[in-house]
Amino acid sequence: MSRIDARFASLKADGRAAFVTFVTAGDPDYDTSLEILRGLPGAGVDVIEIGMPFTDPMADGPSIQLAGQRALAAGQTMEKTLAMVRAFRQSDDETPIILMGYYNPIYSMGVHPFLAATKEAGADGLIVVDLPPEEDDELCIPANAAGLHFIRLATPTTDEKRLPAVLANTSGFVYYVSITGITGAAAAHADAVAPDVARIKAATDLPVCVGFGIKTPENAAAIAGIADGVVVGSAIVDRIGRGDSPTEVLGFVKSLAQGAHSV
């Protein structure tokens, strides 16, 4: 059983939703980013998404765009991102790690070298937002063969005709994007999200996690009541961007975790 499968099984047995966080690797610099990364499990994080910085993100709003720019300006590379995963694994062999981003940096490195290095570093899965199911042979299927989960996004516009294609080679969990738009653009509302979450859950046995637009402990608690997991990214990245210390960032993360786990 993979770390992702084991973590969701454990949370289900405890009757809790997963609390999933996103941070950009190398933001604002390598050492600070690694300190925050290492502190996330202790702050209550169940699954960690690590953003692979890229110059031209398409799905991300200003907060995560700026995080990527800060990281790249500080010298972050794919090799350093994988080094962060290795460093994290020196003290934590249980918390699932997912690399999230865009295909261009992976393509530049080479699919098979990237997959081998990602698996060796200790990551558990990928979210690559600009590769649709029609391109599964490009990365998704090789990733699965390498022992990495490939987590797909479903959105409010993923209708009944499209959903089977989205689910076909997805594993680990399904990431439901709660809003139509970029990250951090609007607040997610549980009442509006619940019908789509239920529709997706009826079509798959995979956990369904909801992200985009979750910014407060109260938001997290509301979404945890209707989904298997809650994903927070921009609200955390904003704290890093304004210069909060790792202790302050992790304190905020802990408050969000308490909200997500309170249901």
Question: What is the per-residue pLDDT across 50-69, written as a single tens digit (0 to 9) for each?
Answer: 999 999 888 788 899 999 99
Q: What range does the domain containing 142 cover?
A: 3-261
Q: Fill in the amino acid letter for 236.
A: I
Q: Write down the catalytic residue from 27, 46, 60, 228.
A: 60
In whole angstroms, give the CA distance from residue 46 to residue 18: 6
Assign 213 a pLDDT band (cuts: 50, 70, 90): confident
Assign 190 a pLDDT band (cuts: 50, 70, 90): confident
Average pLDDT of the residues in 137-154: 97
Tens of pLDDT, residues 72-86: 999 999 999 999 999
Is residue 49 annotated as part of the catalytic site, yes or no? yes
**Placement of tokens 């460093």 in the chain:** 87
Helices (H) and strands (E) in the chain, counts: 12, 9
pLDDT mean across residues, the chain: 95
pLDDT at 174: 98
Residue 184 has pLDDT above 90, yes or no: no
Least confident range from 50-64, 101-115, 184-198: namely: 184-198
CA diameter of the chain: 46
In whole angstroms, give the CA distance from residue 263 to residue 255: 14
Average pLDDT of the residues in 119-148: 97
Tell me the CATH number at 181: 3.20.20.70
Average pLDDT of the residues in 90-100: 98
pLDDT at 219: 93
Degrees (nearest 5) of the Cα angle 168, 214, 151? 20
Report yes or no: 167 and 203 within 8 Å, Cβ to Cβ: yes
Average pLDDT of the residues in 86-109: 97
Could you check whether the bond before residue 164 is cis, i.e. omega within 30 degrees of 0?
no
Q: Write down the catalytic residue from 5, 27, 31, 49.
A: 49
Please state the domain count of the chain: 1
Three-state DSSP at 50 gives: strand
User: Tokens standing for 137?
Assistant: 């042979």
What's the pTM?
0.95
